[in-house]
């Protein structure tokens, strides 16, 4: 497919992908721009999506845009990670929308339940897509020498053990929204043997009553910017405010009820300029409990994310 056709898709689809990354996530390609991912998709998929966007009536697309976004999300998220499939893209290569989670240097393990809510700006309106996942590690948290914990499940869904003995839940093509964390958070771990049930002895997911206030598509790199949520934040101990650019990411940790943070003009200028950048507001809460005879950190995190361009 010609580059101009792919760029047309990028302009419409840029906010439809919600890749997640962090200390334990490693499933994304080395070339992280959406343009790279699109180059790697089969031509028939690109053609079909382009045809749908061109021919569907506005009303029909508005009714089905969430399904389309989910389909694109699942297609992008599980594209091949073979470096041989990657078509080089112009520099700089911006990082994907990233969700930072707290890390710990003490204790015997950490279990993190994460909901990433990505706001998709389309010509037909905004769509919010929730992706639920989980991460778990056990062993020496300070050195990263993790141990095999056997079977680990979150709300009944099994996490995959990686080669370094970290665990992560990766949604499948038939499970593109991941784990449903809206009603309860229940962990079951084989070794050390324990069950953590938020409904009876823990905390629920943080709550954000609104979305990211910014509704535009681009940020000015030479001006200060206030990143804020339109409503309130509850059941959080801390809130991360983060902007990711091609040159660097800036993360600010604030109190659990904070709803806005200003990034100075100097900070914005240091991020670099590119499409495919992102902003995130992530409230999270934390407990430390003795479970199965071990000291376990428990984190529940909600990440509100939006893909933007920095000009």
Q: What is the mean pLDDT of residues 70-94?
A: 39
Q: Which residues of 276-297 are buried (b: 16+ CB within 10 A; e: fewer)?
A: bbbbbbbbbbbbebebbebebb
CA-closest candidate to residue 11, choices 214, 215, 211, 218: 218
Tell me the per-residue pLDDT of 198-247, one tens digit each, with 9 for 90 and over: 999 899 999 999 999 998 889 999 999 999 999 999 999 999 999 999 99
Secondary structure percentages of the chain, helix, strand, coil, to 5: 20, 40, 40
Please state, in angstroms and rounded to a whole number, the distance separating the CA atoms of residues 172 and 174: 5
Q: Judge whether residue 103 has pLDDT over 90.
A: no
- The pLDDT of residue 51: 44
- The pLDDT of residue 55: 41
Q: Judge whether residue 95 has pLDDT over 80.
A: no
pLDDT band of residue 263 (cuts 50, 70, 90) is very high
Q: Judge whether residue 69 has pLDDT over 90.
A: no
Domain ranges of the chain: 3-85, 109-310
Please work out, in degrees rounded to the nearest 5, the angle formed at the alpha carbon of residue 273 by the alpha carbons of 271 and 278.
65
Considering only residues 153 and 26, tell me which one the structure prediction assigns the higher pLDDT: 153
3-state secondary structure at position 29: coil
pLDDT band of residue 134 (cuts 50, 70, 90) is very high
- Using the Cα atoms of residue 276, residue 14, residue 303 and residue 191 in order, give the sign of their dihedral: negative
- The pLDDT of residue 5: 42
CA-closest candidate to residue 270, choices 252, 248, 240: 248
- Contacting residues for 48 by C-beta, under 8 A, at least 6 apart: none
Considering only residues 30 and 145, tell me which one the structure prediction assigns the higher pLDDT: 145
Q: Are 208 and 240 in contact (CB under 8 A)?
A: no
Percent of the chain residues past pLDDT 70, beyond the cut: 66
Considering only residues 130 and 272, tell me which one the structure prediction assigns the higher pLDDT: 272
pLDDT band of residue 11 (cuts 50, 70, 90) is very low
- Paired tokens of 187: 């962990």
0.85 surpassed by pTM:
no
Considering only residues 201 and 79, tell me which one the structure prediction assigns the higher pLDDT: 201
pLDDT band of residue 74 (cuts 50, 70, 90) is very low
Q: 212: which DSSP letter?
A: B
Q: 25: which DSSP letter?
A: B
Percent of the chain residues past pLDDT 90, beyond the cut: 57
Q: Judge whether residue 116 has pLDDT over 60.
A: yes
Please state, in angstroms and rounded to a whole number, the distance separating the CA atoms of residues 135 and 114: 8
Q: What is the mean pLDDT of residues 79-93?
A: 38
Q: Judge whether residue 1 has pLDDT over 90.
A: no
Distance in Å from the first CA to the final CA of the chain: 27
């Amino acid at each position: 497919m010609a580059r101009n056709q792919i760029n047309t898709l990028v302009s419409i689809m840029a906010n439809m992908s919600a890749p997640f990354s962090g200390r334990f996530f490693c499933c994304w390609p080395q070339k992280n721009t959406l343009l790279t991912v699109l180059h790697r998709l089969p031509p028939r998929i690109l053609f079909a999506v382009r045809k749908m966007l061109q021919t569907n009536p506005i009303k029909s697309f508005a009714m089905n845009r969430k399904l389309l976004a989910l389909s694109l999300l699942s297609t992008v998220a599980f594209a091949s990670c073979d470096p041989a499939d990657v078509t080089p893209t112009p520099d700089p290569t911006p990082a994907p929308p990233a969700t930072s989670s707290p890390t710990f240097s003490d204790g015997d393990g950490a279990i993190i339940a994460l909901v990433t809510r990505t706001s998709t700006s389309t010509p037909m309106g905004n769509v919010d897509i929730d992706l639920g996942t989980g991460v778990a590690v056990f062993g020496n948290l300070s050195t990263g020498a993790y141990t095999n914990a056997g079977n680990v499940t979150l709300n009944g869904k099994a996490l995959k053990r990686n080669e370094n003995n970290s665990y992560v839940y990766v949604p499948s093509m038939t499970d593109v929204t991941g784990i449903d964390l809206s009603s309860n958070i229940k962990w079951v771990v084989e070794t050390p043997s324990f069950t953590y049930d938020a409904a009876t002895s823990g905390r629920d997911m943080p709550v954000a009553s609104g979305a990211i206030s910014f509704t535009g598509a681009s940020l000015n790199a030479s001006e200060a910017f206030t990143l804020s949520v339109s409503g309130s934040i509850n059941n959080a101990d801390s809130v991360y405010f983060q902007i990711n650019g091609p040159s660097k990411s800036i993360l600010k940790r604030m109190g659990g009820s904070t709803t806005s943070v200003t990034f100075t003009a100097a900070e914005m200028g240091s991020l670099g300029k590119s499409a495919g950048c992102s902003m995130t507001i992530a409230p999270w809460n934390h407990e430390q409990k003795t479970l199965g005879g071990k000291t376990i950190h428990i984190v529940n995190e909600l990440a509100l994310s939006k893909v933007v361009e920095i000009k």
